[in-house]
Amino acid sequence: MTDSISSTNIPELSSINEVLGNAIGDGGGRISVTAFATQLLSDGPIADVIGSIEAGYEDSVALVADLPDPDGLDVGALWRVFGDGEDSGVWKVLAGTPKTWDRLGPLPAADLAVVDARLDAGVASVAAEVAARLAGDEAEATARAEAIAAEATARGTAISGAIATEVTNRNTAISTAVAGEATARGTAISGAIASEVTRPTQAISTAVAGEATA
């Protein structure tokens, strides 16, 4: 019996032409790297993922729970799940009654780059929207403050004018009343003085006239 060789004792190689494998029904054997690569690309999960990149996806969702009912989709339809932890990846509709979803594998690097670009664009869009709203709010607040200031100035001017007019009118009325009162009182006093002055003169004249007659 030939002694077995442990894999750790096999020399390391930088490249290979053949690999050892097992085929169900045929046992173990060798297969060339070219034939093995052709097999990987023609069928199986690696072929499915590569095919999904070339064929494109039906759509993308955040969670596996968001995937639509597979019975409403074509067999082989591919969808991407982006935000569901270990369940994120490429999902495919499998034939059956009912049809089912099957995860083919993780998202290819190219798809992850698309996600990163979308996230960056989303963040930039939100930041721009917030900045625009803040600028709009500031401009609106400034406009309101200016309008309030203008209204206050206009009302203050109107009130000041009304008060000045009222004071002028009242002063004019008071001055007119005082002048009228002074004139009336002056006239009365002048008449009284004239009457008082006339009385002695009339009395003297009467006495003189009486004396002369006698």
Backbone angles phi, psi at 213, to 5 degrees: -70, -40
Average pLDDT across the chain, whole number:
76
- Integer CA distances (angstroms), 79 to 8, 17, 64, 68, 96, in order: 42, 36, 10, 10, 18
CA 39 from centre of chain: 54
Binned at pLDDT 50, 70 and 90, residue 183 comes out as: confident
pLDDT of 201 above 70: no
pTM beyond 0.85, yes or no: no
Highest mean pLDDT among 73-87, 119-133, 137-151, 191-205: 73-87
Q: What's the rounded mean pLDDT across residues 31-38?
A: 79
3-state SS assignment for residue 24: coil
How many C-beta atoms surround the C-beta of residue 70 within 10 A?
Answer: 21
User: 29 CB contacts (<8 Å, ≥6 apart)?
Assistant: 20, 21, 22, 23
